[in-house]
Amino acid sequence: MRIRSFTFLLAVIATMVVLPSGTSSPAVEPGDVSSPAIAQKSTRLRDPACRHPRDCPKPPAPPAPTGPTIGQCPVFPPDNAWNTDISAYPLHPNSANFIASIGAGTRLHADFGGGGAYGIPFVTVPGSQPRVPINFTHYPDESDPGPYPFPPDAPVEGGSDRHVIVVDVDNCVLYETWLSYYVGPGWNVANGAVWNLRSNALRPLGWTSADAAGLPILPGLVRYDEVAAGSINHAIRFTVSRSQRGYILPATHFASSSTDPNRPPMGLRVRMRADYDISWITGQARVIAEAALQRDEIRGSHFKPDCDIPPVRGSNPTEMRQDARRWCEAFQKQNDRWLKTTIATYAPQGAKLSYEPVDTSLIPPRPRTYGMVGAELIEEVWRELHPEVGAKRRPGENSE
């Protein structure tokens, strides 16, 4: 069973250090809830010559967002804790103990990917999205009241947490819920939080959110569009199994009874150590990319246009058998081209490639017909050309 997520702010995933308290850092001592800079309200004074609002000069348009964005919405202001560069902040005196509690020798697991099988999904909706009733089943007194603009088919996180995240991209409002179940026309959720993406305002101190730290989830997610653009300009959300009874703003909630000062508090800011060598990461990533480019690579069952073979289209048995034979011959040519192991070795001037044949003596290649027209005939012709394939298989049955 998964524990409920405990969120901390991670600048970069790697060997880590922890930041201290002080005026130069938004981090404070564990458990201290002294307030950092929070969104300030501004008042525009009216010009004395401006007797009617229609005669007053229009306020300047808000500046275009410079931090992370979704659509036209900022994912919180550029000076928000999620978007603040902490690389120059001093080290927290208890950093080593925090990291030891988290697990200094433990690798961080990126819980996303797998074609959507992992990670926390989110969906964007227009401002016209219908609002539906939200019933809070666990923490109604620490939830922002509905209705919420949740579609009936809003994606739900897999596993036990069942988070739902919806962004109203016209009004720049973020909605997040935990333990979410659609019951029609609305949703049953454990609790819910609503965030103005243009504001640094926090939840009331002591309040939880869809995350046990009282933090929003969305700004800490690794999103594909950011990775594709080559830069992630915000902290990354990560969780630990043990925390202390304390939090650091912008977190507003703890989820532990432990008073161990060496356990991490909620909202702890963690970063990559300045002397950590990342050159090997770049090098290995370059090997994979260059190997794929140089070999015109194909992986697994992903479709590649070069592998597309015309199906059986003959109008009589003779033509159909001829088509099936051509299909099998083309399939064999693909095996000769692709069925090999690439060995890539990194070198400063680029990847060095060599190839080894794949041993198919135990599992010989077989056509992957996926139930196409003429599948049974293709199987039959293939067995005639390759008797080592063995016993007859059902039409459309495919090996991996």
The per-residue pLDDT for 115 is 62
Tell the residue number behind the tokens 């001093």, with chain if given. 90
Query: Is the link from the previous residue into 261 a cis peptide, with omega within 30 of 0?
Result: no
- H or E, element range at 337: helix 317-338
- The Cα–Cα gap between 386 and 114 comes to 35
- The Cα–Cα gap between 255 and 251 comes to 11
User: Exposed, middle or buried: residue 368 (CB in 10 Å: 0-12, 13-18, 19+)?
Assistant: middle
pLDDT digits (tens, 9 = 90+) for 68-82: 899 999 999 999 999
The answer to whether residues 152 and 182 touch, using CB atoms and an 8 Å cutoff, is yes
Q: What does DSSP say about strands 269-272 and 8-10: parallel, antiparallel, or unpaired?
A: parallel
- The Cα–Cα gap between 198 and 216 comes to 13
The answer to whether residues 27 and 21 touch, using CB atoms and an 8 Å cutoff, is yes
- The Cα–Cα gap between 135 and 181 comes to 10
CA angle 171, 173, 175 (to 5 degrees): 145
pLDDT digits (tens, 9 = 90+) for 27-44: 332 333 222 332 222 223
The per-residue pLDDT for 41 is 27
- H or E, element range at 272: strand 269-272
Task: Give which of 249, 279, 218 is closest to 73, Cα–Cα.
Answer: 218
Query: Is the link from the previous residue into 250 a cis peptide, with omega within 30 of 0?
Result: yes
The per-residue pLDDT for 240 is 86
Residue 388, token pair as written in the block: 């080592």
Distances (CA, A) of 166 to 81, 169, 267: 21, 9, 23
The segments of the chain whose pLDDT lies below 50 read: 1-7, 11-17, 19-54, 56, 62, 65, 283-303, 391-400
- The Cα–Cα gap between 159 and 116 comes to 12
Q: Residue 173 has what DSSP assignment?
A: E
Domain ranges of the chain: 1-32+81-110+222-272, 116-212, 281-389
Backbone phi, psi, residue 42, to 5°: -120, 145
Distances (CA, A) of 108 to 27, 77, 89, 238: 22, 28, 23, 8
* CA 324 from centroid of its chain's CA atoms: 44
The answer to whether residues 74 and 62 touch, using CB atoms and an 8 Å cutoff, is no
Query: Is the link from the previous residue into 185 a cis peptide, with omega within 30 of 0?
Result: yes
Counting other chains too, the contacts that 253-259 makes at CB distance below 8 Å and 24 or more residues apart are 253/203, 253/206, 253/207, 253/208, 253/209, 253/212, 253/213, 253/214, 254/213, 255/4, 255/6, 255/208, 255/212, 255/213
The answer to whether residues 140 and 191 touch, using CB atoms and an 8 Å cutoff, is yes
The answer to whether residues 198 and 77 touch, using CB atoms and an 8 Å cutoff, is yes
The per-residue pLDDT for 274 is 66
